[in-house]
Structure 1
Amino acid sequence: MTAPVPFSEPSWLMGLPSAYYTDSHRNFQKAIRPFIQQHLLDHAMEWDKAGTVPEHVFHDFAQAHMLIPALPAPLPIDWLRRLGISELAGGLKVEDFDYLHALIYSDEMARAGVVGPSASLTTGFAFGVPPILKFGSAPLQEKVLPDLLTGRKRCCIAITEPDAGSDVANITTTAVRSDCGKITNGIWSDYSSMAVRTGPPGSGAAGLSMMVVPLKNHPGVTMRRLNVAGAASSGTTYIELDDVKVPAENLIGTGGLGMRYIMTNFNHERLALAVNATRQARVALSAAFEYVMKREAFGAPLMNQPVVRHRLAKAGGRLESQWAWVEQFAYQMTRMKKDDADRELGGMTGLLKAQAGIVFRECADTAVLLFGGNGLTRSGQGELVEMLYREVLAVRIPGGSEDVLLDLAVRQLVRLYQAKTKALQAKAKI
Structure 2
Amino acid sequence: MQSSASPTLNLGFPRIEPPWLMGLPTPIYQETHRKWQAAIRAFIEKHLLAHAEEWERAETVPAHVFDEFAAAGMLIPALPAPLPVAWLKRLGFHELLGGLPVEDFDYLHAVIYADEMARSGLAGPPGSLTTGMAFGVPPIIKFGSKELQERFLPELLRGQKRSCIAITEPDAGSDVANITTTAVKSKDGKHYIINGTKKWITNGIWTDYASMAVRTGPEGSGPAGLSLMVVPLKDYPGVSMRRLKVAGQISAGTTYIELDDVRVPVENLIGTEGMGMRYIMTNFNHERLSIAVGATRTSRVALAAAFEHVLKREAFGKPLMDQPVVRHRLAKAGALLESQWAWVEQFAYQMTRMPKEDADRELGGLTAMLKAQAGIVLKECADTAVLLFGGNGYTRSGQGALAEMIYREVPGARIPGGSEDVMMDLGVRQLVKIYKAKTQALDSAASSKL
- TM-score bracket for the superposition, by shorter chain length: over 0.9
Q: How does 1:276-315 map to 2 (within 5 A)?
A: 276-315=294-333
Match of 1:70 among 68, 78, 85: 78
Give 1:264 shift.
Answer: 1.2
User: Partner of 1:399 in structure 2?
Assistant: 417
User: Partner of 2:136 in structure 1?
Assistant: 128
Asked if 1:23 corresponds to 2:40, the answer is no
Q: How does 1:86-235 map to 2 (within 5 A)?
A: 86-178=94-186, 179=194, 180-182=197-199, 183-235=201-253
Match of 1:366 among 384, 396, 407: 384
Q: TM-score, normalised by structure 2?
A: 0.95
Of 197-206 and 259-268, the range deviating more from structure 2 = 259-268
Give 1:216 shift.
Answer: 1.3
* One-letter amino acid matched to 1:23: E
User: Partner of 2:50 in structure 1?
Assistant: 42
Q: How does 1:242-253 map to 2 (within 5 A)?
A: 242-253=260-271
SS at 2:391 equivalent:
helix
Asked if 1:82 corresponds to 2:90, the answer is yes
* One-letter amino acid matched to 1:229: A
Structure 2 CA distance for aligned equivalents of residues 117 and 312 of structure 1: 27
Structure 1 CA distance for aligned equivalents of residues 277 and 88 of structure 2: 27
- Aligned residue pairs total 429
* One-letter amino acid matched to 1:94: V
User: Partner of 1:418 in structure 2?
Assistant: 436
User: Partner of 1:338 in structure 2?
Assistant: 356
Give 1:311 shift.
Answer: 0.7
Structure 2 CA distance for aligned equivalents of residues 393 and 214 of structure 1: 29
Structure 1 CA distance for aligned equivalents of residues 435 and 145 of structure 2: 36
> Structure 1 vs Structure 2: percent identity of aligned residues?
74
* One-letter amino acid matched to 1:285: L
**Contact kept? 2:11, 2:22, Cα under 8 Å:** no
Match of 2:396 among 352, 358, 378: 378
CA-to-aligned-CA distance 1:12-38 (integer Å, 9 cap, x gap): 000111111111100000000011011
Structure 2 CA distance for aligned equivalents of residues 137 and 59 of structure 1: 28
Structure 1 CA distance for aligned equivalents of residues 265 and 93 of structure 2: 30
Structure 1 CA distance for aligned equivalents of residues 177 and 346 of structure 2: 30
SS at 1:21 equivalent:
coil
Give 1:169 shift.
Answer: 1.2
**Runs of 4 or more off by more than 2 Å in structure 1?**
none
Of 100-109 and 412-421, the range deviating more from structure 2 = 412-421
* One-letter amino acid matched to 1:32: I
Question: What are the ranges of 5 or more consecutive residues in structure 1 without an aligned counterpart?
Answer: none
Structure 2 CA distance for aligned equivalents of residues 164 and 313 of structure 1: 39
Structure 1 CA distance for aligned equivalents of residues 257 and 286 of structure 2: 25
CA RMSD of aligned residues (A): 0.8
Asked if 1:320 corresponds to 2:328, the answer is no
SS at 2:346 equivalent:
helix
Structure 1 CA distance for aligned equivalents of residues 278 and 17 of structure 2: 37
* One-letter amino acid matched to 1:84: G
Give 1:428 shift.
Answer: 1.6
Give 1:281 shift.
Answer: 0.3
**Contact kept? 2:128, 2:252, Cα under 8 Å:** yes
